[in-house]
């Protein structure tokens, strides 16, 4: 009996298995609107057997986008193209989630594969190029290649909070089954949590209790606005991997608060600030998911260089996490769950493929003598 292919229920959402797609920016939107790229990119994961597909970080305000190519949920017109994606995911057996995000001082970043802001005027027109001034807890830049942001005042904080709430309502209107609040990777909420970016002297800065205040205000407001029968996840950087930054113990305390507010799963990632010393390698963040799961007594999703079916099964067997999230491995093999089933489940698993493909892949494997 495979744990990876056993169902999991969070509030009114039952996942058919425990392998989910982590949010991945595509830098392919214009003015925050989803398009055919997003439909096909995300749709293939439903066809591949993932139980939950989490749509990339969607800016809750225009200036909260990581880049001008990122999705947004700051206006009602952005709902319809997302509904088209949600409907496709549902029709093909997957639940649909979306990550609600504000990038803070890391907003207005260049598109990664371009290696900088090198768009010609013609490209700027074609790509819907936009540039803006970013906002943050403090007027401290992320690194030498980022501009100094404006520090958020009370009105600015209210605008961000309201942006998250309105975006959650739009995600519900689009038909999403879950939302994930992005509180990781050195983006705005993480900037509040970490002393590396938060130099405030008001009630939102100083002690970890004060630094948690704004992220928890946002989390609470979002949870209140999001339907009771739908689960809310939160993504955190469990450690900054920097001396003097957020520690695992801090994150356990934060996760306890989030659980008390009504967050159902803590998606455990790490880092996001310049100068981090990250011990990258297979399964490198799994111990973080385990620490939060045990320390805060909350379900966790593990993510980060999880690539094989056996590894994923073992993480669940050992009680290190409740869900397995894949990002790059899902890009590499969008049919990863269907292939993992062949390894972990005895007998004919071709019935889990889309009807249009399962019989044909079975025939191919029979012809080659590779069926189990
Ligand atoms: C192309 C790409 C885009 C990403 N975009 C996001 C994002 O929108 N939100 C987020 O929280 N993490 C994002 N991430 C991080 C992934 O969700 C994941 O945590 C990370 O890649 C580690 O998992 P992996 O080893 O399975 O790729 C992105 C990663 C990649 C490769």
Question: 58 in ligand 1 pocket by Cβ < 6 Å?
Answer: no
Q: In whole numbers, what is the pLDDT of the chain averaged over residues?
A: 98
* Mean of pLDDT values over 167-184: 99
Which H, E and C letters describe 170-203, residue by residue?
HHHHHCCCEEEEEECCCCHHHHHHCCCCCCCCCC
Confidence of residue 371 (pLDDT cuts 50, 70, 90): confident
Our mutation pick for probing the ligand 1 site, out of 19, 20, 25, 102, counting the most ligand atoms within 8 A of Cβ, is 25
* pTM across the whole model: 0.98
* Integer Cα distance of 90 and 281 in angstroms: 34
317-349 pLDDT, tens digit per residue, is 999 999 999 999 999 999 999 999 999 999 999
Name beta bridge partners: 301. 267, 323
Q: Which helix (H) or strand (E) holds 86?
A: helix 79-91
Give residue for tokens 């319809």.
80
CA atoms within 13 A on the CB side of 1: 4
* Integer Cα distance of 44 and 29 in angstroms: 18
Q: Which residues, 6 or more positions from 190, have their beta carbon under 8 angstroms from its beta carbon? A: 183, 184, 197, 236, 237, 246, 272
* Mean of pLDDT values over 136-151: 97
Question: 304 in ligand 1 pocket by Cβ < 6 Å?
Answer: yes
In this structure, of 291-295, 312-316, 368-372, the range with the lowest mean pLDDT score is: 368-372
Do the Cβ atoms of 110 and 117 come closer than 8 Å? yes
Q: Which residues, 6 or more positions from 120, have their beta carbon under 8 angstroms from its beta carbon? A: none
Distance of alpha carbon 44 from the chain centroid? 18
Give residue for tokens 């996001």.
272
31-40 pLDDT, tens digit per residue, is 999 999 999 9
Do the Cβ atoms of 69 and 24 come closer than 8 Å? no
Ligand 1 atom showing the smallest separation from residue 325 Cα: 26
pLDDT reading at 2 higher than 80 = yes
DSSP helix, strand, coil percent of the chain (3-state; round to 5):
40, 15, 45
Question: 180 in ligand 1 pocket by Cβ < 6 Å?
Answer: no
User: What region does 329 belong to: left with phi over 0, alpha with psi -120 to 50, or beta?
Assistant: alpha
* Integer Cα distance of 275 and 243 in angstroms: 10
Q: Which residues, 6 or more positions from 211, have their beta carbon under 8 angstroms from its beta carbon? A: 192, 193, 194, 195, 198, 204, 205
251-263 pLDDT, tens digit per residue, is 999 999 999 999 9
3 state DSSP class of 297: coil
* Mean of pLDDT values over 96-125: 97
* Mean of pLDDT values over 232-245: 98
Q: Which residues, 6 or more positions from 344, have their beta carbon under 8 angstroms from its beta carbon? A: 2, 4, 5, 309, 310, 313
Confidence of residue 372 (pLDDT cuts 50, 70, 90): confident
Q: Which fold has domain 8-334?
A: TIM Barrel (3.20.20)
Q: Which residues, 6 or more positions from 366, have their beta carbon under 8 angstroms from its beta carbon? A: none
Question: 184 in ligand 1 pocket by Cβ < 6 Å?
Answer: yes
198-212 pLDDT, tens digit per residue, is 999 999 999 999 999
**Domain spans, the chain:** 8-334
Name beta bridge partners: 303. 325
Question: 328 in ligand 1 pocket by Cβ < 6 Å?
Answer: yes
Q: Which position among 27, 68, 187, 204 bears the catalytic label? A: 187
220-248 burial: b if 16+ Cβ within 10 Å, else e: bbbbebbeeebbbbbbbbbbbbbeebbee
pLDDT reading at 112 higher than 80 = yes
* Integer Cα distance of 229 and 239 in angstroms: 31
- 187 catalytic, yes or no? yes
Residue 281 is given by DSSP the state S
CA 363 – ligand 1 centroid, Å = 35
Confidence of residue 313 (pLDDT cuts 50, 70, 90): very high
- What are the CA-CA distances from residue 221 to residues 56, 197, 226, 313, 321 (Å)? 21, 23, 9, 35, 27
Radius of gyration of the chain (CA): 20
């Amino acid at each position: 009996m495979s744990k990876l292919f056993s169902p999991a229920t969070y509030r009114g959402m039952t996942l058919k298995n425990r392998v989910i797609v982590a949010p991945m920016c595509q830098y392919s939107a214009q003015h925050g609107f989803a398009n055919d790229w997003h439909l096909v990119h995300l749709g293939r994961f439903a066809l591949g057997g993932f139980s939950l597909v989490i749509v990339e970080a969607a800016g809750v305000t225009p200036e909260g986008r990581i880049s001008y190519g990122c999705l947004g949920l700051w206006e009602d017109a952005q709902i319809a193209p997302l509904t088209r994606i949600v409907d496709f995911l549902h029709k093909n057996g997957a639940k649909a989630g979306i990550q609600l995000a504000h990038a803070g001082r890391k907003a207005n970043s260049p598109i990664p594969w371009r290696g900088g802001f090198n768009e010609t005027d013609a490209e700027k027109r074609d790509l819907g190029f936009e540039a803006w001034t970013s906002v943050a807890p403090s007027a401290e830049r992320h690194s030498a290649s980022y501009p100094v942001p404006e520090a958020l005042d009370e009105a600015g904080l209210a605008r961000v909070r309201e942006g998250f709430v309105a975006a959650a309502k739009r995600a519900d209107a689009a038909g999403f089954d879950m939302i994930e609040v992005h509180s990781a990777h050195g983006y705005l909420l993480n900037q509040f949590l970490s002393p590396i970016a938060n130099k405030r002297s008001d009630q939102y800065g100083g002690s970890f209790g004060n630094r948690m205040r704004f992220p928890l205000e946002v989390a609470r407001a979002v949870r209140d606005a999001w339907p009771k029968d739908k689960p809310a996840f939160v993504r955190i950087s469990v450690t900054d991997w920097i001396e003097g930054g957020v520690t695992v113990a801090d994150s356990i305390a934060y996760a306890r608060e989030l659980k008390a507010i009504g967050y159902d799963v803590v998606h455990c990632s790490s880092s996001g600030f310049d100068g981090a010393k990250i011990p990258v390698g297979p399964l490198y963040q799994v111990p973080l998911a385990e620490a939060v799961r045990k320390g805060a007594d909350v379900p966790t999703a593990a993510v980060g260089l999880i690539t094989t079916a056996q590894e994923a099964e073992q993480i669940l067997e050992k009680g290190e996490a409740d869900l397995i999230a894949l990002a790059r491995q899902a890009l590499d093999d969008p049919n990863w769950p269907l292939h993992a089933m062949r390894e972990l489940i005895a007998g004919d698993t071709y019935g889990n493929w889309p009807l249009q493909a399962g019989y044909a892949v079975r025939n191919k494997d029979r012809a080659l003598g590779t069926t189990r």
